Amino acid sequence: MILVYSHKITPRLTYIFRQIFIRVLELPVDFTSAIEKFVSHSGPKLSYTHQPLGNEFFIASHDLLFQKGIQEVPIEVSNWSNIPAFFKLGKSSQLPYDIFAASFFLMTRYEEFLPQVKNDLGAFVAYQSLASKNNFLEMPVVDLWAVRLKEKLHEFFPELPHVSWKKPKFQPIISVVNPYKYEKKSLLLKLSDTLSALWQLDFFSIIEQSLVLLGLQKDPHNNFEELEALFKKTGNQPLYFFLFAKNTFYDRGVSIHNFSFRRLIKNTADLNQVSLLASHAAQQESKSLNYERQQLKKLIIKKIDSVRFNYGLLTTSLGYYNLLEEEIQKDYSMGYSDEVGYRASTAVPFYFYDLNNELQTSLKIHPVVADEAGLRKFSNQKAFKKLMELYENLPTSSAFHGVSFSNAILNAEEMKNSWRDQFINYIQYHAR
């Protein structure tokens, strides 16, 4: 066990130290503000305060972990041997940067609680983030800093245990907004699809729609049996998130009362873990979230303790409080729907810290490094090559490699772009 001394043990301090030591590095940690206890401790120990007590492993502390409330924090990002870092420290510190305060800032999404310009959906956009502005969005810098810390600690305390390496967990996520491209939709939505195709002079879609509705061709989005066979063959266990909400301007899909749609969800839930893809309205108000959750729970007769937001997490300062009110245990929304990278600058699951009330909550956040919409900004080959590189470059065994795809990814008509083939190869690459 590593004993940490600080002049003041705060909720912020214990939260981030436990994340880095226990969940990232898999090393036990304890805390004390009593100098006598710290001095008498015979095992590995470090001090995190303003001045070293003696010749111990000392890390100078930034004020962030001892503050309360949310305020502007001046940040200057520098280069630490090819890893971006901030909150620079003095020469007496064993580390040149306060990685604990910096990690807290990034993981709590502190910047999303500050005033910001939002997009039309009301979302915090990636280009405003510190990570995007300083070109480290695709780097899990919190985990990289943690590995640097561990290397320094091993030099100081050779008796520290070495954690055996194992491959990080890959988690395929299937986000189902529209299980069918043409079938099972209301007459109004079918007409809307047709008029939209006509407006874009997309005659292929008009012909395809006609063939599907006449029963002469399979709906190109109805790929659930093929997905099931692929995941079973490769040993991967997917998470399915179904949009199960009333049709609105933002969320348009098959009616939740449609018999075929309900049977599809039940059949999928019999073989896989199925949970809720919460609508835009559900992210805004707990009443809608409760309704959608209860409706899905009644259908599959299983506990709904995981949620992913349709359109992605709009902003941390809003979305997670509704999940807490509903006592949701797990979230799979921490990422940007239109950008590849680590929104919280870590690939390791962590608990949501409530900055408004200064406490760690029970909501466990699973970072999602990429969504299909963001991947499609690249060519199919570049997109999946990037995913493989991100996975191979994960620095810790505790990392979580979550990637979200739609059920349309296996659309056979997209052979010209080979997204289907690249996806199949990618899942086979992660075969267990």
Report the pLDDT value the prediction gives residue 71, as an integer from 0 to 100.
93
**Secondary structure of the chain as H, E, C letters:** CEEEECCCCCHHHHHHHHHHHHHHCCCCEEEECCHHHHHHCCCCEEEEECCCCCCCEEEECCHHHHCCCCCCCCCCCEEECCEEECCECCCCCCCCECHHHHHHHHHCCHHHHCCCCECCCCCECHHHCHHHHCCCCCCCHHHHHHHHHHHHHHHHCCCCCCCCCCCCEEEEEEEECCCCCCCCCCHHHHHHHHHHHHHCCCHHHHHHHHHHHCCCCCCCCCCHHHHHHHHHHHCCCCEEEEECCCCCCCCCCCCCCCHHHHHHHHHHHHHCEEEEEECHHHHHCHHHHHHHHHHHHHHHCCCCCEEEECCCCCCHHHHHHHHHHCCCCEEEEECECCECCCCCCCCCCEEEEECCCCEEEEEEEEEEEEEHHHHCCCCHHHHHHHHHHHHHCCCCCCCEEEEEEEHHHHCHHHCCCCHHHHHHHHHHHCCC
Query: CB neighbours (10 Å) of residue 297?
Result: 15
pLDDT score at 318: 84
What CATH number labels 169-181+220-429?
3.20.20.370
- Structure confidence at residue 432 (pLDDT): 81
Q: Rounded to whole angstroms, how far apart are CA atoms 296 and 291?
A: 9
* Sequence ranges of the domains in the chain: 2-156, 169-181+220-429
Q: Copy the structure tokens of residue 65.
A: 């972990």
Label the pairing between strands 239-243 and 400-406: unpaired
The overall pTM is greater than 0.75: yes
**Alpha-carbon distances of 321 from 143, 162, 164, 284, 325, rounded to whole Å:** 26, 38, 37, 10, 6
In sign, the C-alpha dihedral spanning 292, 287, 365, 105 is positive
- Tokens (6 digits) for 305: 């303790």
Spell out the residues 6+ positions from residue 362 whose beta carbon is closer than 8 angstroms to its own.
Answer: 324, 327, 329, 351
Residue 145 to residue 140: CA distance in whole angstroms: 9
**Per-residue pLDDT tens digits of the chain, which is 432 residues long:** 999 999 999 999 999 999 999 999 999 999 999 999 999 999 999 999 999 999 899 999 999 999 999 999 999 999 999 999 999 998 889 999 999 999 999 999 999 999 888 888 889 999 999 999 999 999 999 999 999 999 999 999 999 988 788 999 999 999 999 998 767 665 555 556 655 655 666 645 666 665 666 666 677 788 999 999 999 999 999 999 999 998 887 777 788 999 999 999 999 999 999 999 999 999 999 999 999 999 999 999 999 999 999 999 999 988 899 999 999 999 999 999 999 999 999 999 999 999 999 999 999 999 999 999 999 999 999 999 999 999 999 999 999 999 999 999 998 665 555 899 999 999 999 998
Start-to-end C-alpha separation, the chain: 33
- Alpha-carbon distance values, 56 to 48, 90, 219, 301, 337 (Å): 10, 16, 66, 56, 45
Cα–Cα distance between 153 and 343 in angstroms, integer?
28
Interatomic CA distance for residues 280 and 333, integer angstroms: 13
How many Cβ atoms are within 10 Å of 303's Cβ, its own excluded?
A: 9
User: Can you tell me the distance from the alpha carbon of 245 to that of 251, in angstroms, rounded to the nearest whole number?
Assistant: 8
